[in-house]
Amino acid sequence: MCEIIHLPHFDATIAGNHGYPESIVLSDVVVEQLVDYVTCIAALYQGNPFHNFEHASHVTMSVVKLLSRIVAPSDLDFANGQQTSSSLHDHTYGITSDPLTQFACVLSALIHDVDRCGVPNNQPVKENSKAAVVYKGKSVAEQNSVDIAWALLMDVKYSELRAAIYADETEMHRFRQLIVNSVMATDIMDKDLKRLRNARWEKAFSSDATEESSKDAIDRKATIVIEHLIQASDVSHTMQHWHIYRKWNERLFEEMYKSYK
């Protein structure tokens, strides 16, 4: 995990390109590979009452919804398109103007519980399982999910898909950082991680002046907002209608009951 993920600077040329990135048409090969990748990810989810592919889909929809609802400040001058793009970029810490960041958020939601078994993270640690040893007892399920999903994406059969996601090694590095930070953010049971995350939020949004550059300060905000976006989405059923809340609560109850029985 890294504390600050560096998002791209505002690019006026790209922002001026009307309809970007919606105007980009993916080739049939890329679409086929994406469908195949999602199908494989779906198959790698276990049949748990709660942590299953339906949960992943629910979280993914929430991330998409939240990303689509990132808003412009009310004082923007919409008559000036370029100025609007620039202001929106600043207001949202660069998240809205970077398709790679947004795709990484959505993909992270889809893969965040892949291969998760229906027991909490402390169980494999207690049992000193192979996975617990490999991941040193920290965020075992989440690290396993990242590794499985990443290894699958690196398969030779997805080369065109990867080329459509990132153009060079720098972008690939940023893409992976975003996925690692996002998926790790879904571990809400680890008290140390939670404390660190809260401290990072405080540092990013407190009014105290920091010595870091303005770009680092903005990227720090973007990083922690992204982490909270997926974390909120992971428990989005608690922020939806009572019936939805009850449905997922019941599933979680059953999963926990089976774990502790």
Partner 1 sequence: MDCDVFGVSSEENLNYAQKNRNEWEARGQQVVFELKEKVERIWADTGEALSEAGETDMVPLGPKSTTETKSKISSAA
Which residues here bind partner 1, judged by CB under 8 A? 40, 42-49, 52-54, 65-66, 69-71, 91-93, 95, 115, 117, 152, 155, 157, 201, 205, 221, 225, 228, 232, 236, 238-242, 245-247, 249-251, 253-254, 257-258, 261
Q: How many other C-beta atoms lie within 10 A of the C-beta of residue 16?
A: 11
Cβ proximity to partner 1: between 50 and 103 the closer is 50
Q: Nearest approach, Cβ of 210 to partner 1 (angstroms)?
A: 16
Cβ proximity to partner 1: between 25 and 151 the closer is 151
Q: Nearest approach, Cβ of 173 to partner 1 (angstroms)?
A: 25
Q: Nearest approach, Cβ of 168 to partner 1 (angstroms)?
A: 26
Q: Nearest approach, Cβ of 237 to partner 1 (angstroms)?
A: 9
Cβ proximity to partner 1: between 215 and 258 the closer is 258
Q: What's the start-to-end Cα distance of the chain, in Å?
A: 34
Cβ proximity to partner 1: between 168 and 208 the closer is 208
Q: Burial, 184: exposed, middle or buried (Cβ in 10 Å; 0-12, 13-18, 19+)?
A: buried
The enclosing H or E element of 87 equals: helix 81-91
Q: Which residue has the tokens 């153009």?
A: 167
Q: Nearest approach, Cβ of 33 to partner 1 (angstroms)?
A: 12
Cβ proximity to partner 1: between 30 and 44 the closer is 44
Q: What is the Cα–Cα distance from 90 to 220, expressed in whole angstroms?
A: 13
Cβ proximity to partner 1: between 170 and 259 the closer is 259
Q: Nearest approach, Cβ of 201 to partner 1 (angstroms)?
A: 8
Q: What is the Cα–Cα distance from 224 to 202, expressed in whole angstroms?
A: 10
Q: What is the Cα–Cα distance from 252 to 152, expressed in whole angstroms?
A: 28
Structure tokens at 11: 């690019």
Q: What is the Cα–Cα distance from 166 to 115, expressed in whole angstroms?
A: 25
Q: Alpha carbon of 198 to those of 42, 95, 185, 244: distances in Å? A: 32, 20, 11, 28
